[in-house]
Amino acid sequence: MTTIYLKPHKEESLLRRHPWVFSGAIARVTLDRDDPHSEPQEGDLVQVRSAADQLLGIGHWQIGSIAVRILAFGIDSLPADFWHQRICAAYAVRQSLGLIRSDNDTYRLIHGEGDFLPGLIVDIYADTAVLQAHSVGMHRCRQAVAEAIVAGIPEVKNVYYKSDDTLPFKAPVQGDKVGYLISDAQSPVSHAEEFWSMENGLQFRIDWLRGQKTGFFIDQRENRALVERYAKGKEVLNMFCYTGGFSLYALRGGAKSVDSVDVSQKAIDLVNANVAHNFPKANNHTAVTADAFEYLTAQKTANRTFDLIILDPPAFAKHRDAVRNALRGYQRINAKAIEMIRPGGILFTFSCSQAVDKEAFRLAVFSAAAQVGRNVRILHQLHQPQDHPINIYHPEGEYLKGLVLYVE
């Protein structure tokens, strides 16, 4: 196996269990004598050692500033049941957290570094797991992971792989980036088309073939439950609604009306299907396909106001260079929303940009409140839920933050 030797003192972060080796920390690479290549191939398993030859761990080699993502510390080869062990451990955590119940079969099983499997995401929708690789190393292990999931989780019968948008572009990748790895259904495609998954007793149509990410945003589950608590009698506006997660909870919470807005027609079709399925008699829901900024401007012109607004935009900053513009975007959209809240109303506002930290986000929302000139108080500070855990040695895993504001 290829060995990566670090520069002196560069082992310290690994000894503190941070799972990344940056390319600048590497002194030299010693290839396996049998390896015909002149350098490690992207996705190879490599051993990492300190300058003093102390074994630090084993991980996936990657081209780019993160050169190795560590899978296991202190050992130089992965045990034969490695995937099985990690999958079962993650499943046991979700069970112990009470996330797997007759009224909830939607949860994240593997959250990358948060589950000690850097580069891997697995979401569970009833009997189907959707697997997403963010590294070539995980792409190369996809079949072993799929088999470990089906062997370790009795409910799961299908594993769909969806990595067309997530694999790095720097190296060519062998094999398909999308498709079923394991399938129990007679016709997996029609299975996906009629598929319903349950979150806290609400049913959602999940379309992992054509939907965004793995098909659903599981990370807002707990925050949606909080919206339900505040929704009674309110006129609610759910901006960036996608499949209508927040809308369904608001309806169940007794909202007077719910307006759901998304730029994607496919998303709006799913919201309508989800509302009709869960609340067949509801006549207080409206779904609109529109750009958020244009929609809010038009509502303002029409003097429309709401009691409760949810703002859950896509990541405005996909990387560090985009942070300044992203903060301006957060300020603009939050100012527009705060303006439209009735006195005594509530704003749920989120950022899922990993590159924007919670202080910066709070400052953007503060600037928005100051710009509008209303009295605004923070009621809750929200974050990602327990099935998206943050490895304490890898604070970069924190990405979702939200504020619940009381607007006078």
Contacts with ligand SAH by CB under 6 A lie at 212, 217, 220, 240-243, 245-246, 262-264, 267, 291-292, 312-314
Q: Which is nearer to ligand SAH, 145 or 311 (CB)?
A: 311
What is the widest separation between alpha-carbon atoms in the chain?
Answer: 73
Smallest distance, ligand SAH to C-beta of residue 211, A = 9
Q: Which is nearer to ligand SAH, 135 or 220 (CB)?
A: 220
Q: Which is nearer to ligand SAH, 59 or 313 (CB)?
A: 313
- Residues in CB range of 239: below 8 A, 6 or more apart: 261, 292, 295, 296, 309, 310, 311, 312, 313, 333, 337
Smallest distance, ligand SAH to C-beta of residue 381, A = 18
End-to-end CA distance of the chain: 63
**Encoding tokens for residue 312?**
């859950």
- Residue 327 to residue 363: CA distance in whole angstroms: 9
H helical segments located in 279-390:
292-301, 323-339, 358-372
Q: Which is nearer to ligand SAH, 246 or 330 (CB)?
A: 246
Q: Which is nearer to ligand SAH, 40 or 329 (CB)?
A: 329
Residue 299: which H helix or E strand, with range? Answer: helix 292-301
Smallest distance, ligand SAH to C-beta of residue 162, A = 16
Q: Which is nearer to ligand SAH, 108 or 142 (CB)?
A: 108
Smallest distance, ligand SAH to C-beta of residue 346, A = 16
Nearest to 277 by CA among 195, 215, 220: 195
Smallest distance, ligand SAH to C-beta of residue 242, A = 3
Give backbone dihedrals phi and psi of 259, rounded to 5 degrees, phi first. -110, 125
Smallest distance, ligand SAH to C-beta of residue 223, A = 8
The residue to which tokens 């993160």 are assigned? 66
